[in-house]
Amino acid sequence: EEFYRILDGDYQFLLKSPYPLCREFYVECVSNLMRPRTIVDYDRVPWIMDEGTVRITFDSDVRAAVGSYDIFDPSLPTLPVLEPGKLVMEVKFTEMLPQIVRDLLPPNAQEFTAVSKYVLCYEKSQYLHGFEYWNETQERKLL
């Protein structure tokens, strides 16, 4: 129910939440005019190491949903955003990056590349909304 209220632009209930994150989300939505823009879907394989508090994830089949913002719709069509056979490897650590993980990286890799699955999906589906998307969503809110 709360998801659909947020999707409809009804954020007021978030102010009464016992969770600070919900109240912060309300402020972000209202002050920065945050609105749903895309759904990011992917298949994830996680690996966790206690040494160095390391989490490595492999995200494949990254896709942008189209036609709706209903994250609970299992029939929502999607568009692939990565080339076939490509995946996103994400490495997060808090203390140190263990040597075994460093050894997994290509030997001549001298820089790390940042990639945003959200940006990839947004850009892939942006053409569906056209240039008048913002105006259209605001008109719906006013009606």
Q: What's the rounded Cα separation, in Å, for the pair 91 and 98?
A: 11
User: Residue 139 pLDDT > 60, yes or no?
Assistant: no
Output the pTM of the full model. 0.71
Residue 51 and residue 98 in contact, taking contact as beta carbons nearer than 8 Å: yes
Comparing 8-12, 14-18, 50-54, 77-81, the range with the smallest average pLDDT is: 50-54
Q: What's the rounded Cα separation, in Å, for the pair 55 and 60?
A: 16
* pLDDT, tens digit (0-9, with 9 covering 90-100), for 79-100: 999 989 888 888 888 878 788 8
